[in-house]
Structure 1
């Protein structure tokens, strides 16, 4: 009978970074979630949503021979660059094939950080509790002396160690994932927990969505060294009170706005264009963002905190700094 990969187990967000008793903590990587299996020599590398990732990552497929046959892993694809995780080096890899994919694999090789084992030499391990799966995963790495691109995700039951990992955000780690020691791998269930490191930053309001009298969200930017206003990201929907406050501070832009003629996507995975209104780039706001930043831009929407009337646009760090 053919064995198929289960749906990935998921994590629900939590507000506290404290590791609960009876749980293990793992670093949350800034990469792409991926399940891997080798069965009778056939390799499967698929994304959380089921996309076939194998053609874009030939270096991972080529390393399948290090694993025993009929083995399946859950983990994260990451790329390291000069001592940090470089998510931007992963972008575009799914669309690459053949010689182009091989060239990118040579220039920016991906690593597969394994954090779970779903099948081991023909034995289905999904029903095993986390502590048993974790021990089997560690033994797999030890016995087979797995080397790059394979990497073993750290795991701890020590709260102090987990908190220390939170200081790794400078190299691109996003936070922590918590997994209960005595629970099985539950496909598609949000049985794990995740805590994301967030930090406050300042940005310039360059445009808004919604009417100027009641802005719904903000398009943010920072000036670069050449004096150009570069786009850095977008906020989530503003609270009504915040919208009213900003409405009294924002002024409609002239025809010479730096983003005149620009277009923005309405959302991830859509070709629809966002309807927005440029404003005079003079209002500075403070936002709460996670650590996922690509080339100076927030990868995820940020949350508006407050207007920084004490700061001028010239006091902000330059784009990309």
Structure 2
């Protein structure tokens, strides 16, 4: 299920069965499949298994009953805040930096031998909290409440750590993966996903990105990438760069096999976008 963006945090009685509020985490969405003695699977939205890149989660996920399926967020924590960029780094590089990885669960879709997606969120949440009672990092339960005032206080207090906002869900609703809008999200920063198709500058120091918006139109990033952003993009360009071509606005650019990125619309500088980060999931 994918949350629908809304501007305002809904009231406690606005959604079917009452509203559950949870913090919106800054990471990669993934389903966790526990498989007994076999390595667990962390399935990204693309269908790719992320588990091989996060060996520090293996023991924790193997401790779950064989056949349990969780929905949650794969997160990195570094220097007192969520560190999305650490997710695209190799395990040894994360270890050198002292970054910590966690899988933060917010829903339960199956227990051994039982698909429970047709049950209400209230029931699934009770089963999830029982399943994860006593667990310790790197496996965690998301912060959630049915009290809107408490959720709003979390939103304000946790913003400096990189919490992106709140997610609201109806406690009386089943899990319907093909439906859009059963969950709501209120983000403190509105962004869109775009496809990076080319860049100007050198492979070691990209300057401006050529992107394709969801509607198929093209936009450039502005201002130029800072040193941290340039390093992030350069690290992801391996084996993706094609021979340079001419661009009407940038001159010579290097086309690439597309990368998904998160960008912020800048109405005052249309048609430009402000690059936020790559989305490696």
Q: What TM-score do you get using the length of structure 1 for normalisation?
A: 0.60
- RMSD over equivalenced CA pairs, Å: 3.6
Q: Which runs of 5+ in 2 are unaligned?
A: 191-206, 211-217, 235-239, 252-260, 270-281
Deviation track 1:150-177 (CA, whole Å, cap 9, x = no partner) reads: 1110111211122122222221111111
- In structure 1, the residue matched to 2:124 is 133
Aligned pair count reads: 225
Structure holding more strand per residue? 2
Instruction: Provide the secondary structure at the position in 1 that maps to 2:88.
Output: coil
- In structure 2, the residue matched to 1:88 is 85
Instruction: Please tell me whether residue 68 in structure 1 is matched to residue 50 in structure 2.
Output: no
- In structure 1, the residue matched to 2:160 is 170
Residue 193 (structure 1) shift:
1.2
- In structure 1, the residue matched to 2:179 is 189
Q: For 1:83 and 1:19, how far apart are their aligned partners in 2?
A: 31
Mapped contact 1:179–1:193 kept (Cα < 8 A) = yes
- In structure 1, the residue matched to 2:23 is 27
Instruction: Please tell me whether residue 120 in structure 1 is matched to residue 81 in structure 2.
Output: no
- In structure 2, the residue matched to 1:160 is 149
Q: Which runs of 5+ in 1 are unaligned?
A: 1-8, 94-100, 200-205, 210-215, 223-228, 234-258, 265-269, 280-298, 308-321
- In structure 1, the residue matched to 2:34 is 38
- In structure 2, the residue matched to 1:314 is none
Kindly name which structure, 1 or 2, has the bigger radius of gyration based on alpha carbons: 1
Instruction: Provide the secondary structure at the position in 2 that maps to 1:55.
Output: helix
Q: What TM-score do you get using the length of structure 2 for normalisation?
A: 0.68
Mapped contact 2:166–2:187 kept (Cα < 8 A) = yes
- Residues 153 and 207 (structure 1 numbering): CA distance in 2 closer, same or farther, change over 3 Å? closer
- In structure 2, the residue matched to 1:302 is 264
- Residues 105 and 34 (structure 1 numbering): CA distance in 2 closer, same or farther, change over 3 Å? farther
Mapped contact 2:9–2:168 kept (Cα < 8 A) = no
Q: For 1:230 and 1:276, how far apart are their aligned partners in 2?
A: 23
Q: For 1:208 and 1:91, how far apart are their aligned partners in 2?
A: 19
- In structure 1, the residue matched to 2:249 is 277
